[in-house]
């Protein structure tokens, strides 16, 4: 189970790095849950699909770099960096680029992600958003 769970989690990261919403959606269970670093919970494949679309509009080059991966059955923990450029007007300007350490916990069941939980400091993004206003 651990190997297949890791493959699904890594495929999700690759889809994120391509900003491939269809690819992300294909890997989600119908009752998929997303929990952000503040503990906010979103549920349901379609709701989360819409959230990814909005996020990629705001940060069109969002990506994850995974340095370490740990598996325990259906649970996969990935450690690395999240990065992107806050682009409220659609332009990728160097001064709006940010990066922060990230930990992700993915839960996989029957080859699909049932939960994607992100632990990251959102302050670098908030600073860019405040400055751009």
Q: Could you tell me the domains of the chain?
A: 2-132 (3.10.450.50)
| Alpha-helix residue ranges (DSSP H) falling in the chain | 2-17, 21-27, 45-58, 123-132
List pLDDT tens digits, range 27-60: 999 999 999 999 999 999 999 999 999 999 999 9
Alpha carbons within 13 A on the beta-carbon side of 41 = 7
SS3 state at 36: coil
This model's pTM is above 0.75: yes
Q: Return the closest-CA partner of residue 28 out of 86, 109, 103.
A: 109
List pLDDT tens digits, range 93-119: 999 999 999 999 999 999 999 999 999
């Amino acid at each position: 189970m651990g190997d297949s769970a890791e493959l699904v989690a890594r495929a999700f990261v690759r889809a994120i790095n391509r900003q491939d919403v269809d690819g992300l959606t294909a890997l989600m269970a119908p009752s998929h849950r997303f929990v952000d670093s503040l503990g906010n919970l979103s549920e349901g494949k379609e709701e989360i699909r819409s959230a990814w679309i909005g996020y990629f509009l705001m940060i069109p080059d969002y990506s994850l770099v995974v340095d370490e991966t740990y598996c325990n059955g259906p649970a996969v923990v990935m450690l690395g960096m999240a990065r992107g450029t806050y682009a409220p007007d659609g332009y990728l300007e160097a001064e709006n680029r940010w990066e922060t350490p990230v930990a992700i916990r993915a839960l996989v069941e029957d080859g699909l992600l049932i939960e994607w939980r992100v632990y990251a400091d959102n302050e670098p993004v908030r600073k860019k958003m405040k400055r751009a206003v």
